[in-house]
Amino acid sequence: MLRYVWRVQGAIFSSLRFVPDDYVLAPDEREGRGSVLPPIESLPGWVQPLPPLTPISRRQFFQAAAGRGMITQTEALDAIRHGTVPAQMQQGIDTLPSGEKFAAEMLLSGANEFERDHPLVGKFGEIMGLPSNMLDEIWRYAITL
Distance CA 76, CA 132 (A): 22
Q: Are residues 33 and 64 in the same domain?
A: no
For 139, the 3-state DSSP assignment is helix
Q: 64 with 32, same domain? A: no
Cβ neighbours around 116 below 10 Å, total: 20
Asked if residue 81 belongs to a domain, the reply is yes
User: Are both 31 and 64 inside the same structural domain?
Assistant: no
- Both 64 and 116 in one domain: the answer is yes
Residue 85 lies in a domain: yes
| Helix residue ranges per DSSP H, 44-131 | 58-67, 73-82, 87-94, 98-110, 119-127
Residue 86, domain member (yes or no): yes
For residues 70 and 132, membership in a common domain is answered with: yes
pLDDT in tens, 80-137: 999 899 988 888 888 888 888 898 888 888 889 999 988 888 888 887 788 888 999 9
Same domain, 73 and 37: no
**Same structural domain, 78 and 107:** yes
* Cα angle: 111, vertex 71, 82; to 5 degrees: 45
Q: What is the pLDDT of residues 9-49, one digit of tens each?
A: 444 444 445 555 555 555 555 555 454 556 667 777 777 77
Judged against a pLDDT cut of 80, whether residue 1 lies above it is answered with: no
**What is the phi-psi region of residue 52: left when phi exceeds 0, alpha when psi lies from -120 to 50, beta otherwise?**
beta
**Largest Cα–Cα distance in the chain?**
66
Q: Are residues 61 and 98 in the same domain?
A: yes
* Residue 70 counted as domain residue: yes
Residue 54 confidence class, pLDDT cut points 50, 70, 90: very high
Taking alpha carbons only, the member of 1, 114, 26 closest to residue 17 is 1
pLDDT at 13: 47
User: Per-residue pLDDT for 5 more than 50?
Assistant: no
CA–CA separation, 66 vs 72, rounded Å?
5
Whether 58 has a pLDDT exceeding 90, the answer reads: yes
Q: Supply the pLDDT for residue 22.
A: 58
Q: Is residue 49 part of a domain?
A: no
pLDDT of residue 60: 95
The string of DSSP letters for 15-49 reads SS-EEETT----TT--TT-SS-PPPGGGSTT--PP
Question: Residues 24, 74: one domain?
Answer: no
* Statement to judge: residues 66 and 23 lie in one domain: no
Q: Which residue has the higher pLDDT, 38 or 54?
A: 54
Parent domain of 107 = 56-143
pLDDT value of residue 91: 87
pTM of the model: 0.65
Nearest to 139 by CA among 102, 111, 113, 108: 113
For the CA atoms of the chain, what is the radius of gyration? 22
| Residue 50 located in a structural domain | no
Residue 93 sits in the same domain as residue 69: yes
Specify if 47 maps to a domain. Answer: no
Are 125 and 69 in the same domain? yes
The number of domains in the chain is 2
pLDDT of residue 19: 52
